[in-house]
């Protein structure tokens, strides 16, 4: 490949810097607005630097620290458990679909693909979860959504590229299917598995609908649903509060941004550790697809 001349390199680097800033500046503004007082936002609008520094939004969110800690603990457990177990189940299902010598490969692939097009709907899902006794338990937050047909098909594409000669050699040496799966398939599919783990963890971390449907006890409320209720309470208080002097003191715009920071902060800290696998997974998956 021919190397770029100095002008070309400056242009490419400039474009990369510009694109990076377009992604970074909105997040900086979100943090800045969350640290600005409501009066400062009303007077000066949004800015990259807080016009009137204030922690009132975060004080409002953490006014009941026990509730926030419980919500974080529930969401962390759901995310970690659902990511590990869900990815393992999806990988174990994708493996036989990737084997050309598996007798029921096409039937199993059709079964998984069919669920990508059609679903039973909300009412059957609710009846199933409640009939299994998972309502008002942490399992209702993780088991119904930790499996994804789309992610399973992506893993199948990664595993299909593994040379069948390796599997045949291991079989001749007397390795069992579980030994082949954990000793050969999993290590060679590391990029795809880490990519699916990231997708799964993001879905579990950002989910709030499961808590709304199945959880009545406050101790099991997920973080996203707790923040959703906080914002709803503020909106209702401002609209129907009646006492103007009290409702005017409630944060609104800066509270929205503070909720974004509280909800997205932990995942933003985790993402850089998986970024290289995520980038490789997207590129490889796109080529194989």
pLDDT at 285 (0 to 100): 46
| Coil vs helix vs strand at 134 | coil
What distance in Å separates the CA atoms of residue 36 and residue 44, rounded to the nearest whole number?
10
Cα dist from 64 to 26, 61, 71, 89, 233, whole Å: 29, 8, 11, 37, 14
207 or 66, greater pLDDT:
207
First to last CA, the chain: 26
Q: Per-domain residue ranges for the chain?
A: 1-54, 61-288
pLDDT at 258 (0 to 100): 85
How do residues 81-129 score in pLDDT, each as one tens digit?
A: 999 999 999 999 999 998 888 888 888 889 888 888 887 788 888 999 9
Cα-to-chain-centroid distance, residue 106: 30
Q: Are 98 and 159 in contact (CB under 8 A)?
A: yes
pLDDT at 131 (0 to 100): 92
pLDDT at 81 (0 to 100): 95
Cα dist from 288 to 58, 99, 123, 210, whole Å: 45, 16, 37, 34
Q: Could you tell me the pLDDT band of residue 35, with boundaries at 50, 70 and 90?
A: confident
pTM higher than 0.85 = no
pLDDT at 78 (0 to 100): 94
133 or 233, greater pLDDT:
133
What distance in Å separates the CA atoms of residue 273 and residue 115, rounded to the nearest whole number?
32
Q: What class, spelled out in words, does domain 61-288 have in CATH?
A: mainly alpha
How do residues 207-255 score in pLDDT, each as one tens digit?
A: 988 998 998 877 788 888 888 888 777 777 666 654 444 444 566 778 8
What distance in Å separates the CA atoms of residue 146 and residue 5, rounded to the nearest whole number?
49
Q: Are 190 and 277 in contact (CB under 8 A)?
A: yes
164 or 275, greater pLDDT:
164
Residues in the chain: 289
pLDDT at 87 (0 to 100): 94
pLDDT at 2 (0 to 100): 57
248 or 189, greater pLDDT:
189
- What percentage of the chain reaches a pLDDT higher than 90? 14
């Amino acid at each position: 490949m021919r190397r770029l001349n100095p002008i070309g390199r400056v242009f490419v680097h400039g474009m990369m810097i510009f694109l990076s800033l377009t992604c970074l500046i909105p997040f900086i503004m979100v943090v800045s607005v969350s640290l600005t007082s409501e009066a400062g936002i009303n007077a000066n609008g949004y800015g990259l630097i807080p016009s009137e520094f204030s922690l009132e939004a975060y004080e409002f969110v953490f006014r009941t620290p026990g509730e926030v800690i419980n919500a974080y603990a529930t969401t962390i457990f759901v995310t970690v458990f659902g990511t590990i177990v869900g990815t393992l189940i999806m990988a174990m299902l994708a493996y036989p679909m990737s084997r050309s010598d598996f007798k029921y490969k096409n039937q199993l692939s059709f079964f998984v693909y069919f669920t990508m097009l059609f679903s039973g709907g909300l009412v059957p899902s609710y009846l199933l979860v409640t009939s299994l006794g998972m309502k008002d338990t942490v399992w209702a937050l993780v088991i119904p959504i930790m499996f994804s047909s789309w992610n399973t098909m992506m893993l199948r594409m990664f595993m299909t590229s593994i040379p069948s000669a390796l599997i045949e050699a291991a079989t001749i040496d007397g390795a069992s299917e579980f030994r082949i799966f954990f000793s050969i398939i999993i290590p060679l599919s590391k990029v795809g598995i880490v990519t699916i783990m990231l997708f799964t963890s993001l879905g579990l971390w950002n989910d709030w609908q499961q808590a709304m449907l199945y959880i009545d006890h406050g101790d099991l409320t997920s973080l996203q649903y707790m923040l959703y209720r906080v914002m709803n309470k503020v909106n209702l208080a401002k609209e129907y509060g009646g006492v103007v002097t009290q409702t005017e003191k409630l944060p609104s715009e800066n509270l929205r941004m503070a909720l974004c920071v509280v909800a997205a902060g932990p995942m933003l800290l985790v993402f850089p550790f998986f970024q290289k696998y995520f980038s490789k997974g997207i590129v490889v998956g796109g080529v194989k697809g």
